[in-house]
Every structure is written in C-alpha cells, then in structure tokens.
Amino acid sequence: MSEIKNTLLDVRKSYRLLHDYQRSILDLVSFIGGKLSFDYQGGYVKFGSESPRNGKGSLKKWAWDWLNLYYYEFHFNDKIVNNNNLAFSIIHMPDSGYFEAKKNNTVHTTDTESFLDVEYSESYLIFICGFNAWGLLGEDNWKNVFLTTNESGRKEDNKGFMIFKRYKIEDLVDEISTRNILQDFQHFCAENQIVLPIIERDFN
C-alpha cells in the first residue's frame, strides 16, 4: 500500500474515532451538568473561530476552525443559591500540548510541531465555578497559562471569586469514576465556601 493510501486510511479511522469520542464527551458533559443540577446554556469555541456555515467562510481560515471541540467551553445557566449567583462551565482540553509548550516558549496555535509531544501531553476537563463573578479567569480567551497549566486555582475581586480544578479525562471512564470526580470537586468547592449539591437520581 502506498504512503498516501496509508495516510488516508489513518484519516478515515481518525474521523470515525473523533466522532465516537466527541459523542462520549457530549454525553459526559450532559451527565455532569445533570448531577450538579445545572441546565446547559451553550458552548463557546476557545482555540479558533466557529466553523464556517450557511455557505459562508474563507479557505484562509485556520484548520482548527473546522475542529471546534479542540478547546471548548461548555457553559451552563447560572443559578441563585442563598442569594448568591453561581456560574459553572466545563472546558474540554483533549490535548494539553499547546498550553504546556506555551509556558516557556512563544507558540502559535497553528504550529503543531511546536506543541509538547503527544506522548507527554494530557487530556483534561477543567471544571470552573464563579461565585458572584465571571471572567476573572478569561484572559486570552481562556487560553492563559494560569488556567490551562495548573491543577487548580482561584482568582477574586471585590465582588466575588472564581475557582477551577482540572481532571484527566481518563479518570472519568464510567459512572462510578465520574461520581468520584464530582465528589472531589464538591469537596474542592466546599473548601472555597461554595455549596454544590450532587443530585443522586439517575440521568440518561
């Protein structure tokens, strides 16, 4: 088999794998939102621009613009708890390579050769809560080093604060492991004076 045929075979496999993987991530995010009693609001592309649609767009756009879930925010509707506004998002980071390389070097988002090697990169979900505040972690369209390369963190102003904690996607492989992660995040929130109940009924 020629080199190009082998490459295209890998491409076909990759697209099918990506479809199945993204379906599992969507289901996982839905489950997490349900368990935490947050209603999904909508998503935001964070690594490029929205995919061209409705017959519009330019072929000069980044290839990432056709791969929107590469770094993506799933945002949920705010809710009021004890007269305080509680906001929640999950950021999907399936490849930490760009962000890890960015810590010590100038890296462009389209120069994939400059990313940290995939063998040394990780895949994460970043859980973010805002307590009477939002946007404090949003520098560089949420691609800043503080948010993307730390295990957890907190930022505050005179109105409120935001916290985040990241989890390896490989640790959310089934319902039991996901429940354990949610309990850990619940404990992290409690350490920061945020009450985050976990709903015990099942979600499909």
pLDDT, tens digit, 9 for 90 and up, residues 96-136: 999 999 998 889 999 999 999 999 999 999 999 999 999 99
Percent of the chain with pLDDT over 90: 91
35 falls within a domain = yes
Helix (H, G, I), strand (E, B) or coil at 153: strand
pLDDT of residue 54: 82
198 falls within a domain = no
121 falls within a domain = yes
Domain span at residue 114 reads 3-50+60-191
Q: Taking residues 78-87, what's their average pLDDT? A: 94
107 falls within a domain = yes
pLDDT of residue 177: 97
163 falls within a domain = yes
Report how many domains make up the chain.
1
| Predicted confidence (pLDDT) at residue 15 exceeds the cutoff of 60 | yes
202 falls within a domain = no
Nearest to 36 by CA among 191, 181, 168, 193: 181
Determine the Cα–Cα distance for residues 92 and 73; give it in Å rounded to an integer.
6
196 falls within a domain = no
Residue 159 φ/ψ, nearest 5 degrees = -105, -35
DSSP state of 54: T
182 falls within a domain = yes
